[in-house]
Amino acid sequence: MTQIETLGILEEIQALVSDKLQVVSYKWLSRHFLVSSNVAKRLLAEFVEKHGSGLEVVYSLSGWLKNSPSNYHIQLVSRHKLSEAKQEYDGNCRADVYSVQVCIPEDPAAIWNTEFLQAEELFKRPAPVDNCLRDNRFCGISASFVKRNVDGTTARVAAAQPDSAGTSGPSKQNSSQTNAALPSQQNKVLQSSSKVAQHTPIMVKDVKSDGIREVHNLAVKPSTDKKKTTSLPSNKNKDQNGKSSTGNEGSLATLWGRACTKPKSSSVPEVGCDSIQNFNGTADAQICAREAVEDENSDLDAYEVNFRRASYGEGNKKRRVVFDFSDEDENEDAVNLASPDPPERKSLLGSEQDSKTLVPERPNSIVDKPNKDEVNIKEETMTDGEPNISLREETSLVSKRTNGRNSVVKLESQLPDTAPNKMDEVTDAAPNSPKRRKVIKTHIDDHGGEVNEVVWEGEETEVKKVENHMPKKVGSGTTNAEANTVTNTTNRPSAPQRSPAVGSTAPSNPGGKAGNKKAGNAKDPKQGNILSFFKKA
Amino acid sequence: MEVDSQEQLQRKQSTYLSLDENFEIQKEVYRGQQYSQIYFARLHMMRTLLYSLVPNWKSHLPVCTVLELEEGKECIIVGTLYKHMKLKPCILDEYSKERSVAPLIKPHNFMHQDDYLVLEDESGRVKLGGTKLSPSVYVTGVVVALHGKETSAGAFFVEDVLEAGLPPQIERPLKSREDKYVVFVSGLSIGSSSSNPLQFQLLVDHITGHLGDEEEQGLAAEIVHLVIVGNSVEISHGLLNGQNLASKDQSRLSEPFKELDILLTQIAASLPLDIMPGSSDPANFALPQQPLNRCLFPGSATYNTFRSCTNPHCFELDSIRFLGTSGQNIDDLTKYSEAKDKLDFLERTLRWRHLAPTAPNTLGCYPFTDRDPFLIDSCPDVYFVGNQEKYETRLLKGLEGQLVRLICIPRFCETGVAVVLNMRNLECHALTFGTQISS
């Protein structure tokens, strides 16, 4: 360091300490002037020699204590106490200037404050940027094995490297997690955004609902959020689905902030299908990416948690994340009372494809597995069979074991009608009417069994009966559970769509769902099922 | 931008192996299972072990179950101890119609001179008498073998006790000639009024090599690992009473984590670190506590040196095995038994080969159905417990040549003491920090 620089720094310190009454610690100095800690300490020592007469100096004293030999003691002492404190040490103890200030505050922690604010500020900088806090470059020890994972790429944390954005931007091929604000990364931004753009068309169209076979729709429920987080620790994979190129400083708050799930149809085309609601690992990837991102600043505007792609299976066909739904057994009885999220641009694009994929599948599922576990898809009846209603209705289709029920038949007949319904919103994606609410109503039906209905209040009503009798199927409870795990397309642990329920609602569907419970409990026996005892009433 | 002219010191490294799978709960399911299963698993494992040890102990005596006891017949029985404690809080006390004269303040230790021990196995239970087995030493959940005979009163008079003893220790290759240090710190309690951030910052500065001159930094470069043993944050209980928080309070909830994250970033950028959950951390209550979620540490979790671990935590560094907890197990033992010092409790748990014998009786525990993860199969080289009152350490020697370093790590927010272990010779020393500048 040249003489002139040194002098300049010393003068600055003088100004800070005397005029601004700031506590200047060596750490603060090193970060501020970008010098190593050892140099900062030397500078402070020089400063104390030249100008330190009227100021208070705090020294850090370290060494082995005399009285307790296996105690390495590090303490901060003021200038006057220094010699006294040195007595406690056995042999040589080292003293370095820790900080310089006008007066020593009552609470020692106040000395730490300025330094911490500086650290905090460095901490808050965008994640891809390495700074002296993040790579500890000013310390006396280098640790080359430390790597920092940013956006799924690992960047070596190298000490003694200039604070440039270059170090952090190595292979970002898959990540469009860019900060447009950084000029040096502009190229990367362009690159990745172009990649995103490429993905976009694929993603949007690819609303292929694997439909029945899809196991989860991560979109909405808090329970699934938990599942997401459990898969977190293992997953530091690259974000393959591209992210919003608009400076995706996703704050963690957005993960939980379902409140922001407003459809931003305008942003969809540009942004591509970033979606939290993703099946194939994008959730993971996003979470990872978000982890990697500093909890920047709730720039919720820049990044909207709205990419609810109403379909599953989009974008990445290759990766499919399977979440463990082993607790579905217990959850199957849970009836979801939450208001469904507004149906975001119901992949109109997808719906036709949906129907195509759907229709051939359904009959298969029904026909091929007559004795197998139930295919558990909820179908909500629509008032009319128009395809367009897809937008406003949800599909929930339940087929059950054919034990001579005509429900299956009815189901099939309904297929064409309900085909267009968004298989993508298999779960209760709410139809347009935001006013709809699900309400549970309980009553006793003709046979003395308790019936719980989940009824939509609002324009349309859906009757989901949670029937308690399941006559011939003593084991139905378990099979249903299995069915659920196998074929649960709903994103929430769905209410057990009992066969009778479907049977009953099916015929009444066209007639509107105005709460017709009676409809067909054709096979209700007089006796209740023992398993009903364990179901949630 | 200035680079130091002299050579930068290189931090030493050591190979790390995590042995936490046993403590991780992959699929947490509560299907109505009871705790009997974990007790059964424990009894089964320990009994098999004790049966193999009994012939070396007293081979001439028959081994029988509790139901097979006959009056006057000397035999050996193996089972789980149950300690009946008069003062042990019982949930039913809350509902009792008569309020007894018992004081409302809970005693720190529930022992009473009238406590007695009972031995139980699947067939039955029998009250234990005699002076050999002192109720003040034992707690519920310990599996032992007892030699004695049944008295006319129906109790079992104990003549001798066989504990499982220290588990076998894997031979440690004495390859390391150089000093490598591991630092333990616990009870940072960031966010509490008693924590002094300057103290922890000094610790961070020392470990990362900012503080001190070259000699000191050379010492710091030999630190290869840092373990934070629980209770890193403390959130004031006023915020946790279940009420909705005002928005200004919500930031108070997350402040401690942000501070901790910034400090951990400084550490993680420089050396490997393990963080364990403690009783005041946002992790599950029941043991084994699962790792703290990485979302809590957005800044530091990005480093490959950052590891969030379970409590209890077991790992190997350069094939030296470390095992330790954040203190709940020892604190529970303190409540229900007594000993000269905490190290005695540590030693006892090793001799009983069980980390937390009072779980699930008085210590929250997940109802495992197929195993008891707290059984110690292999003797660790370093056995530590965090969040204790003071720093204590002892070298324990076993009968078969086992050598264990027992460490009690004090709460840093109260004492400013961290513990440093030299892996070469298992020697420990304290690392203390003082920030009383003017006094």
Note whether A70 contacts B8, CB cutoff 8 Å.
no
Instruction: List the 182-241 stretch of B: residues with Cβ below 8 A of A.
Output: 196-198, 201-202, 205-206, 208-217, 220-221
Mean pLDDT across chain A, nearest whole number? 56
Nearest to B202 among A65, A74, A133 (CB): A74
Within a domain: B343:
no
Distance CA A381, CA A500 (A): 15
ipTM of the complex: 0.86
> Residue B365: pLDDT band by 50, 70, 90 thresholds?
very high
Lowest mean pLDDT among A142-146, A287-291, B201-205: A287-291
| Side chain identity at residue B293, one-letter code | N
B55 touches chain A (CB under 8 A): no
Hey, of B13, B26, B210, which one would you mutate to test binding to chain A, going by the most A CBs within 10 A of its CB? Answer: B210
Residues B297 and B173 occupy one common structural domain: yes
What is the CA angle B287-B292-B294, rounded to 5?
Answer: 155
Average pLDDT over residues B294-322: 92
B11 and B91 share one domain: no
Do both B212 and B316 map to the same domain?
yes
- B335 in any annotated domain: no
Position A148 scores a pLDDT of 82
The residue type at A392: R
Phi-psi region of A360 (alpha: psi -120 to 50; beta: other; left: phi over 0): alpha
pLDDT digits (tens, 9 = 90+) for A361-374: 444 444 444 444 43
Q: Which domains does chain A have, with CATH numbers?
A: 25-117 (3.90.1030.20)
Residue B358 belongs to some domain of the structure? no
Residue of B nearest to A326 (CA): B27
pLDDT tens per residue across span B108-124: 788 888 889 999 988 89
Say how many domains are in chain B: 2
Q: Lowest-confidence range among A20-24, A495-499, B39-43, B192-196?
A: A495-499
CB-CB neighbors (< 8 A) of A295 in chain B: 298-299
The percentage of residues in chain A with a pLDDT greater than 70, rounded to a whole number, is 32
Is there a contact between A297 and A248 (Cβ–Cβ < 8 Å)? no
Domain range enclosing B420 = 2-28+169-238+246-327+367-432
Please say if the pLDDT value at position A233 is more than 90: no
Report chain A residues whose CB lies below 8 A from the CB of B209. 37, 139-141
User: Residue A254 and residue B300: Cα distance in Å, rounded?
Assistant: 20
Point out the domain boundary residue: B119, B135, B162. Answer: B162
B437: in domain: no
Please name which of B302, B208, B1 lies closest in space to residue A128, comparing C-alpha atoms.
B302
CA angle A146, A149, A152 (to 5 degrees): 150
Averaged pLDDT, A383-390: 41
Once rounded to an integer, what is the mean pLDDT over residues B27-53?
Answer: 90
- Chain A residue with Cα closest to B32: A330
Residue holding tokens 């007066």? A103
Q: Does B301 touch chain A (CB under 8 A)?
A: yes
> Within this chain, do residues B277 and B400 fall inside the same structural domain, yes or no?
yes
- Put simply, the chain A residues between 33 and 52 with a CB less than 8 A from any chain B CB are 34-39
Query: Residue A406 corresponds to which amino acid?
Result: N
Calculate mean pLDDT across residues A343-362.
42
Q: Per DSSP, what are the bridge partners of residue B428?
A: B421
Same domain? B176 vs B229? yes
| B312 has a pLDDT exceeding 90 | yes
Q: Which chain A positions have a beta carbon within 8 Å of B390's beta carbon?
A: none
Q: What pLDDT is stored for residue B212 in this prediction?
A: 82
Reading the block at residue B79, the tokens are: 């089972």
Residue range A347-370: mean pLDDT, rounded: 41
Q: What is the mean pLDDT of residues A261-276?
A: 41
Identify the band that residue A442 occupies on the pLDDT scale cut at 50, 70 and 90. Answer: confident
Picking from A23, A65, A141 by the largest number of B CB atoms within 10 A of its own CB, the best residue to mutate is A141
User: pLDDT tens digit string along A171-194?
Assistant: 333 333 333 333 444 444 344 444
Whether residue B271 sits in one domain with residue B209 = yes
Same-domain pairing of B201 and B152? no
In a domain, B379, yes or no: yes
Q: Is A74 on the interface with B (CB under 8 A)?
A: yes
Specify whether B229 is located in the same domain as B186: yes
CATH code of residue B179: 3.60.21.50
Residues B53 and B90 in one domain: yes
Short-list A483, A507, A512, CA closest to A495: A483
A103 touches chain B (CB under 8 A): no
B438 lies in a domain?
no
Q: Same domain, yes or no, for B407 and B373?
A: yes
Question: Which CATH number is B42's domain given?
Answer: 2.40.50.430
B264-281: pLDDT as tens digits: 999 999 999 999 999 999
Environment class of residue A124 by beta-carbon count within 10 Å: exposed (0-12), middle (13-18) or buried (19+)? middle
Question: Of A402-411, B124-133, B249-258, B375-384, where does the model show the most confidence?
Answer: B375-384
- B73 lies in a domain? yes
Chain B, nearest residue to A328 by Cα = B29
Start-to-end C-alpha separation, chain B? 38
Residue B150 pairs in a beta bridge with B71, B156
Task: Label the pairing between strands B320-325 and B306-308.
Answer: unpaired
**Residues A347-371, mean pLDDT to the nearest whole number:** 41
Q: How many CB atoms lie within 10 A of CB A116?
A: 20
Same domain? For B119 and B74 the reply is: yes
Within 8 A by CB and 6+ apart from B130, the residues are B148, B157, B158, B159
Q: For residue B262, give the nearest of A30, A62, A123 by CB distance.
A: A123
The pLDDT, as a whole number, for residue B98 is 60
- Whether residue B85 sits in one domain with residue B11: no
- For B202, which residue in chain A has the nearest alpha carbon? A74
pLDDT bracket for residue A90 (50, 70, 90)? confident
Answer whether residue B79 is part of any domain. yes
Q: How far is CA A364 from CA A207, A324, A378, A503, in A?
A: 21, 26, 16, 19
- Among candidates B38, B111, B131, B81, which has minimal Cα distance to B333? B111
A contact residues 307-326, partner B, Cβ 8 Å cutoff: 324, 326
